[in-house]
Amino acid sequence: MIEKDFISNPYKKSIENGSFTWSSPSNIALVKYWGKKENQIPENPSISFTLNNCKTTTTVSFSKKQLNTDFSLEVFLDGQLKTDFKPKILTFFNRIETYLPFLKDYHFKIETSNTFPHSSGIASSASGMSALALCLMSIEKELIKSSVIPSAVEESHNEDFFIKKASFLARLGSGSACRSLEGDIVVWGKHDTIEGSSDLFGVKYPYEIHNNFKNYQDTILLVDKGEKQVSSSVGHNLMYGHPFAQKRFKQANKNLSNVVSILKKGSLDAFIALVESEALTLHAMMMTSMPYFILMKPNTLEIINKIWSYREKTNSKLCFTLDAGANVHVLYPESETKTCLEFIQNELVAYCQNGQYICDRIGFGAKQL
Ligand code: PMV
């Protein structure tokens, strides 16, 4: 599919008002996306676990307005008007208007809430942008429904297209958001060994997954809940002209090929090596950018060292990954839940801000409510 395939035909009729609600999960990348081309096209493919408990629920209520010269919207977080969220959503609307030509016809009330604390350092952009994209897709589906005969709706807007276009739109809001629609493992970015993979949207991982990875656990240790000093978009941009960029993009492609056999064979040791190396490489890219920056905190390193010595002492297959921040995602097989949680509570929680952590696991994707 190409970008043009996501441009809608003019809607023949319109609806006056309505409202849709979607709940969408966050995700944690195993092979990381870091560096992009124009229009949020990734420099390398990435793969992620869809989470189950860290979610954003968004309701979009829309009502027809008189003039269609400008966007009109208001955003609420947990019932509070958030004027500071508006510019990001206006930028998003600007990027997607070509694909959703009804956006200037309505006033939108966007009400959103997260299952995780807003200032937890857990990025809400992936779950937030995908929930918003899904609500907008539901509106478009309704506009198409009212304008053509029902069978044509099914053809042009079947479930597969609906999810692909929602992922395509979410990508334009925040790259990693395009991996937050489906469970349990999602690939984004063209890769020769992954059938159907695309730079334009995320696809559900299409191959066999060994039982070792079923219901994989992720405990998120909240090391630093403050605002990041450097945003992801600034970080992505610093990959332009980065001395190690091309080697890094090559490595990510190779790692993705390796993930396929790891997931099939259930090789936990190879999984650990790949996932931890990816996390540290991501942060190494940050530390070797110009200007350089560090998002890890002293407690991030304390936790990593504790994990390594715990693995040495026990037979545990617990490992860590990081996103663009100081928090640590501790990943482990379901069979180790009890012992790993004990270890986390006894030895790692002390390094979390206010002792806070979130228990999560692989999940099934977004849901309409
Ligand atoms: O989606 P963005 O632009 O916020 O970038 C996210 C990048 C990482 O979380 C660091 C890695 C990834 O693949 O999710």
- The pTM (predicted TM-score) of the whole model is 0.96
- Alpha carbon 101 to chain centroid, angstroms: 25
299: nearest Cα among 350, 225, 357, 232? 350
Inform me whether the pLDDT recorded for 61 exceeds 90. Answer: yes
Residue finishing a domain among 203, 223, 255: 203
Share of the chain above pLDDT 90, in %: 87
Q: Which of 32, 129, 248, 278 to mutate for ligand 1's pocket (most ligand atoms within 8 Å of CB)?
A: 32
322: β partners: 328
Q: Are 181 and 365 in contact (CB under 8 A)?
A: yes
Domain match, 142 and 217 both:
no
Answer for the pair 340, 318: CB distance below 8 angstroms, yes or no. yes
What is the 232 CA–ligand 1 centroid distance (Å)?
Answer: 7
Residue in the block written with tokens 């990954």:
321
- Domain ends where: 203, 233, 253? 203
Position 11 scores a pLDDT of 85
Res. 71 pLDDT band, cuts 50 70 90 = very high
Domain boundary residue, one of 142, 174, 203: 203
What is the residue range of 101's domain?
3-203
Which class for 331: exposed (0-12), middle (13-18), buried (19 or more C-beta within 10 A)?
Answer: buried
* Same domain, residue pair 45 and 194: yes
pLDDT digits (tens, 9 = 90+) for 131-169: 999 999 999 999 988 665 555 555 566 899 999 999 999
Residue among 27, 176, 329 to mutate when testing ligand 1 (max atoms within 8 A of CB): 176
CA of 365 to the centre of ligand 1 (A): 18
- How far does residue 100's CA lie from ligand 1's centre (Å)? 25
pLDDT tens, position by position, 212-221: 999 999 999 9
Gap from CA of 35 to ligand 1 centroid (Å): 9
Ligand 1 atom closest to the Cα of residue 233 is 3
Q: Are residues 102 and 121 in the same domain?
A: yes
pLDDT for 62 equals: 98
The enclosing domain of 141 has a CATH number of 3.30.230.10
Whether 220 and 194 map to the same domain: the answer is: no
